[in-house]
Amino acid sequence: MPDTHSVLVVDDDVDIRAALIDVLEDHGFEAVGAINGKDALDKLRAAPEEEKPCLIVLDLMMPVMDGATFRDEQLKSPDLASIPVVVVTAYRDIADQARMKITDFLRKPLNIDDLIAAVKRYCDPLATMPSPSPA
């Protein structure tokens, strides 16, 4: 797994993508967005190994390249296949969950605590985050 604190958020909805990035950054993670699966693959392939994300947060329903197709392509790339994926979707049932080899599955509307817990399983927050002041 890459040794970074970066999370790639892949969602075509600009408001959801921005909100997820803000929440992750508020919890001490670096986060970058991609507008669809193709954009995500382009960013992953262009990133040096040491800058690849520790986790991908992936929506399924997107134009250009949906989440399932993205995951198929990711798994075909030896340098990308090991990056864990948490699917965040409004789908009630994800029949392809086993085939997609996803790490976790969260439903929209999203519980932020569940998202942060899932991210913390794979990424450590930045060591530079200030400690909370004692009360």
Residue position matching structure tokens 């193709």: 38
pLDDT of residue 72: 92
Report DSSP state, residue 49: G
- Give the separation between CA 105 and CA 94, rounded to whole angstroms: 9
- Domain assignment present for residue 73? The answer is yes
- Domain assignment present for residue 39? The answer is yes
* 84: containing domain: 6-122
- Give the separation between CA 45 and CA 41, rounded to whole angstroms: 6
- Domain assignment present for residue 128? The answer is no
What CATH number is attached to the domain comprising 19? 3.40.50.2300
pTM higher than the cut 0.75: yes
- Domain assignment present for residue 127? The answer is no
- Give the separation between CA 96 and CA 12, rounded to whole angstroms: 20
Domain count for the chain:
1
pLDDT tens over the chain, length 135 residues: 444 579 999 999 999 999 999 999 999 999 999 999 999 999 999 999 888 999 999 998 899 999 889 999 999 999 999 999 999 887 665 555 555 677 778 888 889 999 999 999 889 766 444 444 454
- Domain assignment present for residue 67? The answer is yes
- Give the separation between CA 28 and CA 23, rounded to whole angstroms: 9
- Give the separation between CA 121 and CA 108, rounded to whole angstroms: 20
